[in-house]
């Protein structure tokens, strides 16, 4: 049987990570890529690493004609245009079996809804890529604690964080293109995984009903490190005039519709975590039981002294967003698998072969977008946002945060 042919739109950081993840996925090839830049390098990487004879295509439409499913890994501001071109290709006869979109689904609720509508118009299954829900550690704790949940009741509090020293690519630092700052970029991860682990075992991912959101955003790293400042300058962005938040924290309250119990998901995200590198932290507290996951608690550590540090070519070979090349360093030997990328690809392909949506679909991605935008609204107003209020729900359909409008200085600069 021929391997499933996957095509990427985009050839940046996340595409490279997903291509690496394919080394751990059986029966799937990276068969094609379309991107404005980086296509040749990604295709060469795919061939060299044995994940497929990746061809470079000149358009989204041409890519769609030559693969079984397309994954949108392009920047946030390009998603709707790309999705429109995919739908046109399907209408033109492309035999796709599914469409994947990397988080976040949209920069606003309106954008996310547009992507949902376009996907529904195509008639194709969808998969929303939220890798942290697919982490083996998260799935394992749910299996391990299922008997405790059944006997004692589900988790009541979840806390989740994703933190590192800031994105690599300049467009992430432009809130008008990215959709905000760290809350848009990484808060979607933490809110999603918090919602997921609080959900009673065996229930759908949207079983718990969002009740309220409270959040705060801040700009805590005044002035950018030189390499990040260059990235931002290369994008033509004056970050002092259009800043984005580099720290966000908040709480989402959910209601169990069967029992009426209220449970809480706390999220914390930052681009100012100048320690080893990327840190994912999740824990959950239930009646008489708990779990904790910390991606920096690795079984492998290495030490590099000052005299040997010059030999280090790539600090990120040890850990994503690594900030040091010497001293005692944490090393993750298979980040793509640890972070859930392998499992989310396996899930999407298996579901597409059956003609159904992935475990997480575009409609779910829109719900996460709504919670993220409600958090921005809470931070702007300095109050708890009541998600049961129909007026608030209507307001969110057309809401764009001040930060995403490029007016972050009004909120983030004090005095």
pLDDT in tens, 120-132: 999 999 999 999 9
Q: How much is the mean pLDDT over the chain? A: 93
Question: What's the pLDDT score for residue 305?
Answer: 81
Residue 333: burial class (beta carbons within 10 Å; 0-12, 13-18, 19+): exposed
Q: With CA atoms as reference, report the closest residue to 408 among 278, 250, 245, 280.
A: 245
pLDDT of residue 322: 66
CA 140 → CA 136, 137, 145, 238, distances in Å?
6, 5, 9, 45
pLDDT value at position 220?
A: 86
Q: Determine the pLDDT at residue 227.
A: 62
For range 195-214, the mean pLDDT: 97
Residue 92: strand pairing partners: none
Average pLDDT over residues 176-205: 97
pLDDT in tens, 325-360: 777 788 888 999 999 999 999 999 999 999 999 999
- Write down all domains in the chain, each with its CATH number in brackets: 4-131+341-360 (3.40.50.720), 133-334+369-396 (3.30.360.10)
Q: What is the DSSP letter of 224?
A: -
Report which of residues 367 and 173 the model is more confident about: 367
415 has pLDDT over 60: no
Inter-residue contact 18 to 42 (CB < 8 Å): no
The pLDDT value given to residue 288: 96
Task: Please give the model's pTM, rounded to 2 decimal places.
Answer: 0.94
């Amino acid at each position: 049987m021929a391997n499933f042919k996957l095509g990427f739109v985009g050839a940046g950081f996340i595409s490279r990570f997903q291509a690496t993840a394919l080394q751990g996925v059986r029966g799937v090839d990276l068969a094609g890529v379309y991107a404005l830049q980086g296509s040749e390098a990604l295709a060469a990487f795919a061939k060299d690493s044995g994940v497929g004879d990746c061809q470079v295509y000149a358009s989204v439409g041409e890519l769609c004609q030559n693969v079984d499913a397309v994954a949108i890994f392009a920047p946030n501001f390009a998603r709707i245009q790309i999705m429109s071109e995919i739908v046109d290709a399907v209408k033109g006869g492309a035999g796709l079996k599914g469409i994947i979109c990397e988080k976040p689904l949209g920069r606003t609720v309106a954008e996310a809804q547009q992507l949902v509508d376009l996907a529904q118009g195509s008639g194709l299954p969808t998969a929303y890529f939220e890798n942290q829900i697919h982490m083996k550690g998260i799935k394992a704790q749910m299996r391990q604690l299922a008997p405790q949940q059944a006997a004692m009741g589900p988790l009541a509090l979840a806390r989740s964080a994703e933190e590192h020293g800031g994105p690599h690519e300049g467009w992430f630092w432009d809130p008008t293109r990215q959709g905000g700052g760290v809350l848009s970029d990484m808060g979607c991860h933490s809110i999603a995984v918090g919602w997921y682990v609080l959900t009673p075992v065996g229930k759908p991912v949207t079983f718990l009903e969002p009740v309220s959101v409270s959040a705060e955003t801040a700009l805590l790293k005044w002035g950018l490190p030189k390499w990040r400042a260059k990235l931002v300058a290369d994008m033509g962005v004056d970050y002092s005039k259009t800043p984005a938040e580099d720290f966000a924290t908040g709480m989402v309250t959910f209601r169990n519709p069967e029992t009426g119990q209220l449970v809480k998901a706390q999220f914390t995200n930052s681009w100012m975590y100048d320690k080893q590198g990327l840190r994912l932290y999740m824990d959950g507290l239930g009646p008489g039981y708990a779990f904790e996951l910390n991606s920096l608690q690795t079984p492998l550590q290495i030490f590099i002294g000052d005299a040997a540090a010059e030999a280090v070519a790539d600090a990120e070979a040890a850990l994503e967003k690594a900030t040091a090349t010497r001293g005692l360093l944490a090393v993750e030997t298979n980040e793509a698998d640890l972070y859930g990328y392998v499992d989310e690809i396996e899930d999407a392909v298996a579901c597409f072969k059956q003609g159904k949506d992935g475990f997480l679909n575009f409609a779910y991605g829109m719900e996460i977008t709504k919670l993220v935008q409600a958090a921005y609204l809470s931070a702007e107003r300095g109050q708890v946002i009541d998600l049961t209020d129909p007026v608030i729900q209507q307001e969110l359909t057309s809401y764009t945060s001040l930060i995403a409008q490029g007016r972050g200085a009004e909120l983030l600069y004090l005095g």
